[in-house]
Amino acid sequence: MSTTTSSMESGPLAWGRVWPVSRPVADPMPRHGAWYPIRNKGETRVVLDVHGQRVALPIEQVEVRDQRPDRFTVVHRVATQPNPAQGTRQDLGRVYAVCPSCTQRVRLFGQQERTECPACRHKGVVAWWETG
């Protein structure tokens, strides 16, 4: 059994998310603000588990934490970034949160301190100081 397979069965080595200024090219593409399990970590690359698929990225493009965060990450969509949901009910605006539990995007209203994920019902602090 390989090290990667063993770590897949025993849980993540750590947790990682793409740095806000990073624009990695991967398939599937890790979403900004979302934390993913790290399944393998080397000196120059990390392997994220993005919804059941392994994605290898340069380590300098990934923020790594030992424990899974429990706070909602705030994402600021760049003004030039396309918003395919614009004008629909699914449009979250330029600033939204990402659930640390299930990676669902969550609409924010003003500068609220806490929120609840509509998908998994995780409740927690909105980490305005820690944007993704």
Q: Kindly state whether residues 30 and 55 are assigned to the same domain.
A: yes
Q: What is the pLDDT of residue 24?
A: 81
pLDDT digits (tens, 9 = 90+) for 79-105: 777 777 777 877 788 899 999 999 999
Return the closest-CA partner of residue 107 out of 126, 129, 79.
126
| Res 6: pLDDT | 42
pLDDT of residue 19: 92
Which segments in the chain show pLDDT lower than 70? 1-9, 132
Res 1: pLDDT: 38
Contact 64, 43 (CB under 8 A): no
One domain, residues 53 and 9? yes
Is the same domain home to 107 and 123?
A: yes
Q: Is the peptide bond before 30 cis (omega within 30 degrees of 0)?
A: no
Do 80 and 47 reside in the same domain of the chain? no
44 and 14 in a common domain:
yes
Q: Where among 23, 42, 65 does a domain terminate?
A: 65
Domain that residue 22 falls in: 3-65
Which pLDDT score is estimated for 82?
73
Residues 51 and 88 in one domain: no
User: pTM here?
Assistant: 0.79
| Sequence-ordered alpha helix ranges (H) in the chain | 3-10
Domain count, the chain: 2
CATH code of residue 15: 2.30.30
Q: Residue holding tokens 């990667």?
A: 4
Same domain, 57 and 83: no
| CA–centroid distance for 8 within its chain | 19
pLDDT of residue 9: 55
Q: Do 83 and 57 reside in the same domain of the chain?
A: no
Q: CA 116, CA 124: separation in Å to the nearest integer? A: 7
Are 81 and 113 within one domain? Answer: yes
Residue 29, SS3 per DSSP: coil
Contact (CB, 8 A) for 36 and 24: no
